Amino acid sequence: MTVPKTAPRQPLGGLTLLGWLAGAALTFFLLFFLITAVLRQMPEPIGSRAGLFVEGARMTLLLTVFSGLLGLLIGVVVGIMRTSTLWLVRAPASLFIWLIRGTPLLVQILFAYNAIPPTFYAPVQGLLRDLHLNVPDEFLPAVLALSLNVGAYNAEVIRAGILAIPRGQTEAARSLGLSGAQTMRTVVLPQALRIVVPPLVNNLVALLKDSSLASSIALLELTLAGSRVTSETFQPVPVLTTVAAVYLALTTVMTFFTDQLEKRIKIATR
């Protein structure tokens, strides 16, 4: 007797990806609603300051989303440059990775805030305001530093993914008349990105926690919110416990959705 075969799962398409993003956005919205409700029921010094913790958590998530997307773009560009056969293309990418990975993220955030003039951020700040995203002046320097930092680590991950693709596929694509750029865009890069999804997810989760260093430039994210409550109440234990619990909730939800994306991508490649 023949065993009926199950229908193959469809590849990850645009509608599926949009549904995944909508589901993630809705889940985070419900998570913030739940966090607010739970924190308001907690005893002092947490209950009366629940709004401050939630505001800090929203800023932490906003930092992670913006920096993660820009960091992925930077990582793709720099990772491709690192695999180039031209020394003039490879050298700037190697220098960028050397500088970012060799200096502390805290120093990079302070440099982006203190050394780069506000006029540099003004056009983007105006664009965000036009989109009704009113963010503090410290937001863009933090995003710049976090994006460059995670982008350097993403670049090495993506470079490894590109090198993992068999050379024969590149040669076959070139023999069919595709240019080097077309081969990279349509053959090599899509496969490489699927391979490196797990380390890219790890970098994203690490980015969420590293965003706490933005408190050094007085950006009101979750860690700074906890520090302010501690300074007011002199009760660090319940405050730090609450901050840790909120971080854990954010990373748990983020990891759940990134794991689902990873599983879907693995199915699509079978």
Tell me: pLDDT of 156 over 80. yes
Tell me: pLDDT of 236 over 50. yes
The pLDDT score that the predictor gives to residue 12 is 52
Higher pLDDT, 30 or 257: 30
The pLDDT score that the predictor gives to residue 193 is 86
pTM (predicted TM-score): 0.89
Give the confidence band of 102 by pLDDT, cuts at 50, 70, 90.
very high
Tell me: pLDDT of 161 over 90. yes
Spatial separation of the C-alpha atoms in residues 106 and 108, rounded to whole Å = 5
Give the confidence band of 263 by pLDDT, cuts at 50, 70, 90.
confident
Burial 76-89 (b: 16+ CB within 10 A, else e): bebbbbbbeeeeee
Give the confidence band of 217 by pLDDT, cuts at 50, 70, 90.
very high
Interhelix angle for 50-82 vs 197-210, to 10°?
A: 140
Per-residue tokens: 161: 């993914």
The pLDDT score that the predictor gives to residue 64 is 95
The pLDDT score that the predictor gives to residue 3 is 45
- Dmax over CA atoms of the chain, in Å, equals 74
CB 140 within 8 A of CB 116: no
CA atoms in the 13 A half-sphere facing the CB of 154: 27
The pLDDT score that the predictor gives to residue 108 is 97
Tell me: pLDDT of 8 over 50. no
Each domain of the chain, given as residue ranges in start order, spans 51-268
pLDDT in tens, 42-54: 998 999 999 999 9
Spatial separation of the C-alpha atoms in residues 23 and 17, rounded to whole Å = 10
Mean pLDDT over 157-181 rounds to 86
The pLDDT score that the predictor gives to residue 180 is 78
SS3 of the chain: helix, strand, coil, percent, to 5: 80, 0, 20
The pLDDT score that the predictor gives to residue 13 is 55
Spatial separation of the C-alpha atoms in residues 107 and 212, rounded to whole Å = 14
**What is the CATH class of 51-268?**
mainly alpha
Q: What is the mean pLDDT of the chain?
A: 88
The pLDDT score that the predictor gives to residue 269 is 52
Spatial separation of the C-alpha atoms in residues 188 and 180, rounded to whole Å = 10
pLDDT in tens, 49-93: 999 999 999 999 999 999 999 999 999 999 999 998 889 999 999
Give the confidence band of 17 by pLDDT, cuts at 50, 70, 90.
low
Sign of CA dihedral 175, 181, 183, 186: negative
Stretch among 18-27, 56-65, 242-251 having the lowest mean pLDDT: 18-27
135: alpha, beta or left? (left if phi > 0; alpha if psi -120 to 50): beta
The pLDDT score that the predictor gives to residue 215 is 94
First to last CA, the chain: 26
